[in-house]
């Protein structure tokens, strides 16, 4: 059961990082610092005033940026590398002691899951930005924040259940990859046409 729990920690936190890496790091740091849940000792990596403070500050910036149409898409574009990298680091941290090959495979897995979550989020927000009203941005942003907190709590307390939930979500992302890609390409096409006309 321990390997599944380790995978649950890795996949759950990596997926959360793909949606909001700063909230995920803050959750890990505060949980480790305050002892809310007994996490594996390797997550003490996030138990630092600098890491927790920086993550909370950047989370506040993201919380505001994520509510403003088009600013959220620019923010997502900036984080196209940051979120998958964060997912990879968190996945490796979930291992503790491991061989270089195992750590490399876990980094690849965590980074891929975070990248999938990030691209799903970014594509959904880009599609929502075509709507003339701002309410959908607020609803999506608050839903994403709630998802990250809920998945973080589930991953901390029930990593095996987090493994199951995350596996289903990864499967759904793969099934809808074509739809998401087409939506993203349509959005990029419209942006380039608008730039050409301007």
Q: Is residue 198's pLDDT more than 70? A: no
Give residue 108's domain range: 2-197
- Tens digit of pLDDT for each residue in 36-45? 777 777 788 8
Average pLDDT over residues 70-88: 92
Q: Is residue 63's pLDDT more than 90? A: yes
**pLDDT of the residue at 180:** 63
Is the distance from CB of 11 to CB of 163 less than 8 angstroms? Answer: yes
The pTM of the full predicted model, rounded to 2 decimals, is 0.84
Average pLDDT over residues 74-103: 90
Contacts 24+ apart (CB under 8 A), 80-83: 80/118, 80/122, 82/21, 83/17, 83/18, 83/19, 83/21, 83/114, 83/115, 83/117, 83/118
Number of domains in the chain: 1
Average pLDDT over residues 53-63: 95
- Tens digit of pLDDT for each residue in 107-156? 999 999 999 999 889 888 887 777 766 677 788 889 999 999 999 999 99
**pLDDT of the residue at 3:** 84
**pLDDT of the residue at 175:** 81
**pLDDT of the residue at 197:** 62
Band of pLDDT at residue 84, cut at 50, 70 and 90: very high
**pLDDT of the residue at 125:** 84
Output the average pLDDT for the chain: 86
Name the more confident of 2 and 145.
145
**pLDDT of the residue at 188:** 59
**pLDDT of the residue at 37:** 76
Q: Is residue 51's pLDDT more than 90? A: yes
Q: Which two three-digit tokens encode residue 93?
A: 């941290």
């Amino acid at each position: 059961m321990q390997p599944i729990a380790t995978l649950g920690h890795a996949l759950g936190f990596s997926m959360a990082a793909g949606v909001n890496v700063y909230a995920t790091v803050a959750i890990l740091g505060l949980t480790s610092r305050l002892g809310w849940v007994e996490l594996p000792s390797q997550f003490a990596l996030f138990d630092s005033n600098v890491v927790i403070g920086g993550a909370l500050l950047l989370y506040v910036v993201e919380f505001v940026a994520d509510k403003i149409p088009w600013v959220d898409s620019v923010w997502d574009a900036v984080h196209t590398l940051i979120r998958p990298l964060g997912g990879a680091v968190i996945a490796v941290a979930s291992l503790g002691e491991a061989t270089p090959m195992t750590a490399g495979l876990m980094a690849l897995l965590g980074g891929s899951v975070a990248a999938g979550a990030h691209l799903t989020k970014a594509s959904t927000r880009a599609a929502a930005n075509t709507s003339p009203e701002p309410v959908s941005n607020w609803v999506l942003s608050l839903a994403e924040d709630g998802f990250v907190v809920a998945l973080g709590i589930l991953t901390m307390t029930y990593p095996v259940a987090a493994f199951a939930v995350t596996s289903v979500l990864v499967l759904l992302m793969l099934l809808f990859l074509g739809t998401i890609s087409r939506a993203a390409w349509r959005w990029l096409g419209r942006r380039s046409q608008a730039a050409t006309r301007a």
